[in-house]
Structure 1
């Protein structure tokens, strides 16, 4: 199939710009997602093709943590099947159209596994924005492609978005928070309401959201664990910038410890970590 037939059109881009998210048609083939499932199993079995330095940002969930929400960054840098999923040209090409970017690089990825809720450890993902964790980035047009390895909806813990929230003034939200009080109070004071939308994604569809869009996900009330990969993407002009946190200390990201440095600062175009994804040499998806 010709790649151009899969890309968002003007109305889709307008929807994304207004709402802060957009759901693609089925752009990923089943065999690629089958391979990603194998890659996920290999990742959790420590059957990796490449190793990364043992740093706080590269550790994530481990078997001793038990049957809880799993989040592991940089999985595609370690397992080939997950790297193949990240590299599928329809993902970055779509991101380029939505962001209005000439080129797209990987920022980093997160392998996510949400167990079926059994009333034990919470597996809800709190309301947050990705941008709040990427303060060392110059670009305000970064975005995320969220890929379920199977059908995903509200019942099994699909991602929920607050439409238009990429234009709100919200900071300090927490991925791991189980309390909505701070978000509700802050948004109501600005005249906004917390009215989430949880799209249903069929296998092969991908949701894209802006780095400032408030999102989270509920408990998994399905019959199987929810399995997915979040692919965080940066436009080609994104660069490291020096910004101070509330404590007066320069903010950092896990990438800062992995990418090469140029003139003493992290290089977010380092192809070993932030691989170029678009333009892609493959013009046709087979």
Structure 2
């Protein structure tokens, strides 16, 4: 059994009632510096190992990256399944514990992770992340309280293409959003045209801080105009009560997720509690998690 016990110093860094209220009102929250330097140093090594294809394990059913994916914005899924240093980062207990407090969950499992690399802006190099919600890609999930922890490997602000959130957008019901769109101004016009206020909240984070956002919060990021590539890991998280649901999309197709082809099954349906692909990251029965 995993030992999720936090030290008194770690417990003091968990979100309290005011922080939870902020998250519920605004749709996001930025933690204090909760990730130790040595954990982030190891994650940086793990990122380099991943791009060098120096894997600790292969994951059948996932896709390697091919020619052309070394340029521009890089997004690679399930990297923690391949590289140990990245698995150690997402398992750092304050991430799962903080997520459980924010979501009001009895515990937190991994949904999946995405290793993200945003190069310095250059001519012809796409670097934007279009306005989108995570929920729009997770329609096969029963929980509406899933959330994402975004961990930068270094200091980051708007100049470096940090994540931005649209204020209180987790309460919206929006259409036409796309992670891969480079047309941020066009997407802004579309949102305004749907009657939503476009109130952007950029993030400015020191190394070791983590941003958490609700699965329905609209977020994206602009180009990296800093001096070095933006490097990060997005850790997508699910409360323990999340499970597969049958959901038909507007185009008539059954909603599916990449996890559906990687996890085991229960009663013939994908098992989102599969301990191999969706390990337990926090249990509320652990000391300090119910602050």
**Normalised TM-score (structure 1):** 0.94
Give the one of 25, 34, 38 matched to 1:27. 34
Structure 1, unmatched stretches of 5+, are none
Aligned ranges for residues 1-286 of structure 1 at < 5 Å?
1-2=7-8, 3-53=10-60, 55=61, 58-59=62-63, 61-180=65-184, 183-279=187-283
For 1:11-56, what per-residue CA distance to the aligned partner results, in whole angstroms no more than 9, with x for missing partners? 1111100110000000000000000000000011111111012x4x
Q: CA deviation at 1:259?
A: 0.1
C-alpha distance in 1 between matches for 2:232 and 2:255:
28
C-alpha distance in 2 between matches for 1:191 and 1:115:
34
**Structure 2 counterpart SS, 1:27:** coil
Q: CA deviation at 1:60?
A: 6.2
C-alpha distance in 1 between matches for 2:109 and 2:70:
33
**Structure 2 counterpart SS, 1:59:** coil
C-alpha distance in 2 between matches for 1:226 and 1:283:
35
Classify 1:178/1:64 alpha carbon distance in 2 versus 1 (closer, same or farther; 3 Å).
closer
Structure 1 outlier segments of 4+, above 6 Å: none
Structure 2, unmatched stretches of 5+, are 1-6
Task: Answer yes or no: is the 8 Å Cα contact 1:99–1:142 preserved in 2.
Answer: yes
C-alpha distance in 2 between matches for 1:113 and 1:63:
16
Classify 1:233/1:94 alpha carbon distance in 2 versus 1 (closer, same or farther; 3 Å).
same
Task: Answer yes or no: is the 8 Å Cα contact 1:162–1:195 preserved in 2.
Answer: yes
**Structure 1 counterpart SS, 2:211:** strand
Pairwise CA RMSD of aligned residues? 1.7
User: Number of residues paired by the alignment?
Assistant: 281
**Structure 2 counterpart SS, 1:223:** coil
**Structure 1 counterpart SS, 2:202:** coil
Task: Answer yes or no: is the 8 Å Cα contact 2:107–2:284 preserved in 1.
Answer: no
For 1:82-118, what per-residue CA distance to the aligned partner results, in whole angstroms no more than 9, with x for missing partners? 0000100000000000000011000000000000011
**Normalised TM-score (structure 2):** 0.92
